[in-house]
Amino acid sequence: MKKLMIIAITILLTNYGFGASAREYSFPTQMKVSIERGNDPIIKSGSNVVYPILSYFSVVMPPEPAEFNLYGVENEPLTLTAAGSRYLIEEHISIGDEIFFAVLDGENGIKPIRTVLSGPIQIGHVHFAAGSANLSRAAKEVLRQIAVEMKFSGLFGAYLVGQTDRSGSETANIALSQRRVAAAEKFLAAALSDNQVSSPELMTEAMGEYLAGGKDGIANEFDRKVTVLLYPVG
């Protein structure tokens, strides 16, 4: 049930929809701020990896686009960097933040922008030695960084999935994956506390060899892991 519930979590806070072409408007349309996983890892050590949570602003501009700014919760201007057809927001954006758009000439006033999150976000995973449930130094570094990303994104829910390869029996692998996910959960909870995240929602599931990509009876280091997915709480 936990797995089904997490898979069903898709938080989509939509901005106002416009069905016609932007060329029919003299003002910007279809504005949104999306919170999503970046493509380049923050940490990649062997098979341990964690990705950043980034925010992008997208907008459809009129035929003669005007200069604009985005403002955050304290009315501070946000720093934007062009990223293809979108803009990367350099500051941390939390799922609960209010973002505002303003054309610099002031003719169109200030418009609120809602955030969009299609989730959960698979932020990374930590790997284990064969038959072990001990966290390596690299795995601990990854979990500490996951706690940081949770703090700044406002994604205070984490779903941790423990896995094994297919080199042991099904029963033994379920038990081993349970020990692995319990170790990762305990360390992540402590890291969140260190980052002043006081009420996270951490859920775990031990999948054993069920999600393994390797063959029966064959050790596969990439299957020996705990995967972490993030989602908003409340």
Domains in the chain, start-ordered, CATH in brackets?
10-116 (no CATH), 121-231 (3.30.1330.60)
Strand order in 115-116's β-sheet? 80-83, 86-89, 53-60, 29-37, 115-116
CA-wise closest residue to 55 among 93, 22, 86: 93
Which of 66-75, 168-177, 208-217 bottoms out in mean pLDDT, i.e. has the lowest?
Answer: 208-217
Q: pLDDT tens-digit profile of 76-105?
A: 999 999 999 999 999 999 998 989 999 886
DSSP class of residue 12 equals: -
Which of 34-43, 58-67, 75-84 bottoms out in mean pLDDT, i.e. has the lowest?
Answer: 58-67
pTM as predicted: 0.84
Q: Distance (Å, rounded) from C-alpha 161 to C-alpha 11?
A: 20
Pairing of strands 43-45, 115-116: unpaired
Compute the mean pLDDT over every residue in the chain, rounded to the nearest whole number: 86
Q: Distance (Å, rounded) from C-alpha 7 to C-alpha 191?
A: 25
pLDDT reading at 200 higher than 60:
yes
